Amino acid sequence: MSTGNLKDIVVNVENLEVTFDEKKIIRNVSFNVRRGEIIGFFGISGAGKTTIIRVLTCQISKKNWTGNVNVTNLSPGSKKNYAKILSNIGYVPQLEELNLYYDLTPLKNVEVFASCYGMKKKEAKNIAMELFSILDIPEDTWNKPLKKMSGGEKKRVSMAIGLIHKPDILFLDEPTTGVDAAKRYDVLSYLKKLNRRLGTTMFLITHDMEAALIVDRAAILRDGKLLEFDSNSNLITSLPNNGLVARFSIENLNEEKINIIKRFPNAPNIKTIRVGNETLEVLMDDFEKNLSKLIQFMMENGLKINAMSRDVAAFRRYFQLRIQEEEEKERLIRIQQDAIEEVEI
């Protein structure tokens, strides 16, 4: 997958900037996606995930964006490419109740959408049955009104519809939001399964850090900027000491106590992240060498450690740290700017 040549690039974005009402929503975003990859778009609300996907899926007029964008070698900047791009991609929207015909059966739903791609009823039905069985949609529900299905089943029907025309790329908007915790992993593993069987490139917009488990590369967005775009493991190994963490349970944990830990002299690059009321995770360089010194330092400073364990950071931690770091950077820049302004006055 890492040796993709130019022909294998299905999405190419260079210097994308999106402006709405003179406000820049996306700033200078560039990335490539190779055929067959699963890409996760992570970012807190308002980061611009949906906006980027909407540019790729011909939903934002060229008036509002600049840059070089190609989807299956066609630019969504030109209206005459719309129909062709749209027939090369599939889209699974977030909410089923707004995007499926609830009174029609799953097979009729498939027929309606497939017909928009010019597919014959029989062809659509055959592909649908194949997809339905991959997705374990019970056969006795295929011919009953969709509204009688469970939420998870509807989601899977929606996924099958997104794939009915065998698109090169499938976009999924928050596929696990609104699905209960137990079923969430199901949805993700079905996506992985489809990706393996069909080789479809997938874009997941998500708040769900679990999704990082199935993605080949994760894009982290903040405030319209693409902070990272790399594989889960690469991101984690970029952390101090390959992402080893020490998890402490500290009595009466508060900001003051966290600041003490941040002043640990042996590891200036120390990173802390509070993950619970009394739980703190610590990352630092030379983890093995420094760990015992850190514990000693904490005790000397009067912190009471109730428990301790060690682990490797998950994507969730990476994401939190990366956003924290960015916020810190911005805070510093703001302080500098304020200082400059004061000097000027």
Partner 1 sequence: MAKSKTNDNWNSGTFFNRLRYSLWRVVRQIKKEFQLLKIDKMNLVIALMMPPAIIMLFAFMSTSASVTIPVKVSVISYDSNTYVNQNNYTETTTWDNYTSKYLDAVKESELLELIEFYDASESEDEYAMETARNEMRDGNIECIIVISVEFTELLSTGYPGIIELIPDSSDAAAIQDKLNAVQDSIKIFVEENDLDPEYVLQEYEEFSIPSKYNFRYNYNMTILLPFMTFGISFVLSILVVVQEKPIPRLLLTPAQKSEILLSKFIVYSIVLALQVFLVLTVAIANGLYIAGSVIDLYLALYMLGFAGVSLGMFISTVSNTKTEANQLFFAFFILIILLSGMFVPIDAMPDYLQTIAYMLPLSHGAPIIKGILSKGKSFIGFDFFWLLGISSVLIILSFLVINRKRYEV
Ligand X SMILES: Nc1ncnc2c1ncn2[C@@H]1O[C@H](COP(=O)(O)OP(=O)(O)OP(=O)(O)O)[C@@H](O)[C@H]1O
Distance CA 187, CA 160 (A): 12
DSSP string, 47-107: SSHHHHHHHHTT-S-GGGEEEEEEETTB-TTSGGGHHHHHHHEEEE-S-GGGTS-TTS-HH
- SS3 category, 310: strand
* Binds partner 1 (CB under 8 A): choice among 28, 32, 66, 87: 87
CB of 2 to partner 1, least distance (A): 25
Scanning the structure block, which residue is given the tokens 């190419």? Answer: 12
* Partner that binds at residue 46, options ligand X, partner 1, Mg ion, none, CB closer than 5 to 8 Å by kind: ligand X
β-bridge mates for residue 230, sequence order: 218
Could you give the CA distance from residue 158 to residue 302 in angstroms, rounded to a whole number?
56
**Considering beta carbons, is residue 131 or 219 the nearer one to ligand X?**
219
Site string for Mg ion, 33-52 (x = CB under 5 A): -----------------x--
DSSP reduced 3-state for 344:
helix
Angstrom distance (rounded) from CA 256 to CA 81: 58
Among 107, 127, 219, 270, binds partner 1 (CB under 8 A): 127
Residue 67 interacts with partner 1 (CB under 8 A): yes or no: no
Give residues 15-44 in contact with ligand X (rule: CB under 6 A). Answer: 20-21, 25, 43
The token pair at 66 is 């600049």
| Shortest distance (Å) from residue 89 CB to Mg ion | 17
Count of residues touching partner 1 (by CB under 8 A): 35
Contact indicator for 49, 18 with CB cutoff of 8 Å = no
CB–CB of 149/157 below 8 Å? yes
Q: Min. distance of Cβ 66 from partner 1 in angstroms?
A: 21
Contact map string, positions 43 to 62, toward ligand X, x by CB under 6 A: x-xxxxxxx-----------
Query: What residues contact 241, with CB distance under 8 A and at least 6 apart?
Result: 283, 284, 285, 286, 287
Cβ proximity to partner 1: between 168 and 208 the closer is 168
Taking the complex as a whole, how short is the minimal distance between the CB of residue 48 and Mg ion, in angstroms? 9
Interface ranges with ligand X (CB under 6 A): 20-21, 25, 43, 45-51
Interface ranges with partner 1 (CB under 8 A): 57, 59, 82-84, 86-88, 91, 93-94, 97-101, 103-104, 108, 112-113, 115-120, 123, 127, 130, 165-166, 173, 197-198
Interface ranges with Mg ion (CB under 5 A): 50
